Structure 1
């Protein structure tokens, strides 16, 4: 099994993909391409030569407000009214055929690497995710994401922490 990560294209057959969550499957099949073309999100897929699309994630720019951050981080930042730059992993899913193989982590690491690559040119303070449920929150916590104080389903990982984590891999 050789997995290739690439930008979503018209040639990718999305009809066979199923992560087991109707809202994510529906978005991927019907709206992912539109969101990408409209510059709302960049969508990346993981493909296998035999299985086709086995995972995807979307990336978008995001703005953090100072009041959203934990005090120990906020007090170290300058006070900018315009907010702080971040990147959002908006949707991330792996096909049910990949269940139990640690593939969700592979997808997340690819997304984080892509964000950190962009961060060499464009400032990114943090990487943001919205956990759909407790299971997703536990998954992201295992990768080092921390809940926002006022919105526990929204989680963040400082880009500097992500970089240190990847350097250890």
Structure 2
């Protein structure tokens, strides 16, 4: 990413103390738990850093996952082999610091996550997310995600016919 922000893999030198997105659970996760999850290889974390100051402006996490074939929407099931589970990338968390909200950084982080997934050498059919609230659900739906199975607010973006809106 060029311009005002750059996206990097989380490392120990990044100062996460001042990050505040307005959702305590997301702030606390970045400050207290993400390093442990990365060390255990349970997730990968990517930070959007303000180019001039190195301030953490946003972040997201990605992890490998699987979704039971039976939970997939019918129109998708028709196009898939009959394996019990479909490989996906789980977008675990995505947050933008309050000072940077409204500047399309969330969409840029989402785009980076999707592109990183597409470039992966592992076979991944889709990106899946559990939207935390109605606002998050509307954000993901705006970017092309659709409902997945019967779980409320669980959404999917198929990578086979990407129609991502920037």
Q: Distance in 1 between matches of 2:126 and 2:88?
A: 5
Task: Give 1:71's aligned residue.
Answer: 74
Task: Give 1:17's aligned residue.
Answer: 19
Task: Give 2:98's aligned residue.
Answer: 96
The one-character-per-residue Cα deviations of 1:17-50 (angstroms, maximum 9, x if unpaired) are 0000000000010011111111000000010132
Moved over 3 A (4+): none
* The 10-residue stretch of structure 1 (147-156 or 18-27) with the greater mean CA deviation from structure 2: 147-156
Correspondence 1:158 to 2:158: yes
2:65 pairs with one of 62, 70, 76: 62
Query: What is the Cα deviation at residue 75 of structure 1?
Result: 2.3
Query: What is the Cα deviation at residue 165 of structure 1?
Result: 3.6
Q: Distance in 1 between matches of 2:48 and 2:30?
A: 13
Q: How does 1:79-118 map to 2 (within 5 A)?
A: 79-81=82-84, 83-118=85-120
Structure 1: give runs of 5+ residues left out of the alignment.
none
Query: What is the Cα deviation at residue 152 of structure 1?
Result: 2.9
The one-character-per-residue Cα deviations of 1:92-130 (angstroms, maximum 9, x if unpaired) are 000000111111101111111111110xx2111110011
Query: What is the Cα deviation at residue 149 of structure 1?
Result: 3.3
Task: Give 1:46's aligned residue.
Answer: 48
Query: What is the Cα deviation at residue 72 of structure 1?
Result: 1.4
Structure-2-length-normalised TM-score: 0.93
Structure-1-length-normalised TM-score: 0.91
Q: Distance in 1 between matches of 2:161 and 2:145?
A: 10
Task: Give 1:140's aligned residue.
Answer: 140
Matched pairs, number = 163
Q: Distance in 2 between matches of 1:16 and 1:34?
A: 19
SS in 2 for 1:92: strand
RMSD over aligned CA atoms reads 1.5
Q: Distance in 1 between matches of 2:118 and 2:130?
A: 19
Q: Distance in 2 between matches of 1:95 and 1:71?
A: 37
